[in-house]
């Protein structure tokens, strides 16, 4: 099935409280996974603290997946940018992501799905991962595991990548490492000893490392 969108296309998706602003990117047709019809949805950080789908970590994730030949959809949660509604304390945002997934399944029914999220968005992706049939992979960047739900009884429905900086000023890094170590699902950590929450100075390295990790974890 050919990709029915432009290489990069602005779209609007019908959400629970109005339209959701999004951008869809075609995976590079020379990328490793180009023939596999994969699509990742990326969730942005906290809306109240300036998080949008244009956040630099989000766009770094986008380029990582895109260059591997994976289609990418990033979107603004309710109340962000041109998305309708207002912040709903990680409850309505879960519904937003479910609406985006439903749209993907309608528009690209052959796609195999991955999820990714940064900070607040990582919890939305994690919570919804338990509701997606045949989810292939989940990437969590700087997950505030002490503040939001993530696993269910120490498990996820798919293989997991966690990216964390030791000098994160918003997330307790040691808590993240202890949480990952206790998981019963397969998980791999990319750890950056000098990186803060927004990975300033480490985004290029993150792209390289995540590329290698995805090549290992996705069969």
Tens of pLDDT, residue by residue over 143-192, are 999 999 999 999 999 999 999 999 999 999 999 999 999 999 999 999 99
Least Cα distance to 160 among 151, 172, 147 occurs for: 151
Check which CATH number belongs to the domain holding 180 and give it.
3.40.50.1820
- The values of phi and psi at residue 64, to 5°, are -60, -50
pLDDT tens digits for 29-44? 999 999 999 999 999 9
> Is the torsion defined by CA of 29, 35, 37, 38 positive or negative?
negative
Range of the domain at 179: 8-217
% of the chain exceeding 90 in pLDDT = 99
Determine, yes or no, domain membership for 141. Answer: yes
Q: Which residues of 142-176 are buried (b: 16+ CB within 10 A; e: fewer)?
A: bbbbeeeebbeeeebbbbbbbbbbeebeebebeeb
Domain-located, residue 212? yes
Decide if 3 is inside a domain.
no
Residue 123 above 90 pLDDT?
yes
Taken in order 210, 208, 94, 20, the sign of the CA dihedral is: negative
Q: Give the chain's domain count.
A: 1
Cα distances (angstroms) measured from residue 133 to each of 57, 114, 122, 128, 195: 27, 11, 18, 10, 34
pLDDT tens profile 179-196: 999 999 999 999 999 999
Token readout for 66 is: 């895109």
Residue 219: what pLDDT?
A: 76
Residue 5: count of CB within 10 angstroms of its CB: 17
Q: What is the pTM of this model?
A: 0.98
């Amino acid at each position: 099935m050919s990709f029915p969108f432009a290489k990069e296309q602005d779209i609007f998706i019908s959400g629970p409280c109005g339209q959701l602003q999004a951008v869809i990117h075609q995976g590079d047709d020379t990328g490793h996974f180009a023939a596999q019809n994969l699509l990742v949805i990326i969730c942005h950080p906290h809306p109240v603290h300036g998080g949008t789908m244009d956040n630099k970590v989000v766009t770094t994730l986008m380029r990582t997946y895109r260059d591997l030949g994976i289609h990418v959809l990033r979107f603004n949660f309710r109340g962000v940018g041109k998305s309708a509604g207002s912040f709903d304390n990680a409850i309505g945002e879960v519904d937003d992501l479910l609406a985006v997934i439903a749209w993907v399944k309608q528009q690209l029914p052959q796609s195999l799905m991955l999820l990714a999220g940064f900070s607040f968005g990582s919890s939305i992706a994690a919570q919804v991962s338990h509701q997606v049939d045949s989810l292939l992979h989940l990437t969590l960047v700087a997950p505030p595991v002490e503040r939001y739900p993530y696993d269910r009884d120490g498990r996820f429905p798919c293989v997991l990548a966690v990216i964390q900086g030791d000098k994160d000023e918003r997330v307790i890094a040691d808590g993240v490492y202890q949480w990952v170590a206790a998981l019963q699902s397969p998980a791999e950590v990319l750890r950056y000893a000098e990186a803060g929450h927004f990975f300033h100075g480490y985004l290029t390295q993150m792209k390289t490392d995540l590329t290698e990790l995805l090549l290992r974890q996705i069969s």
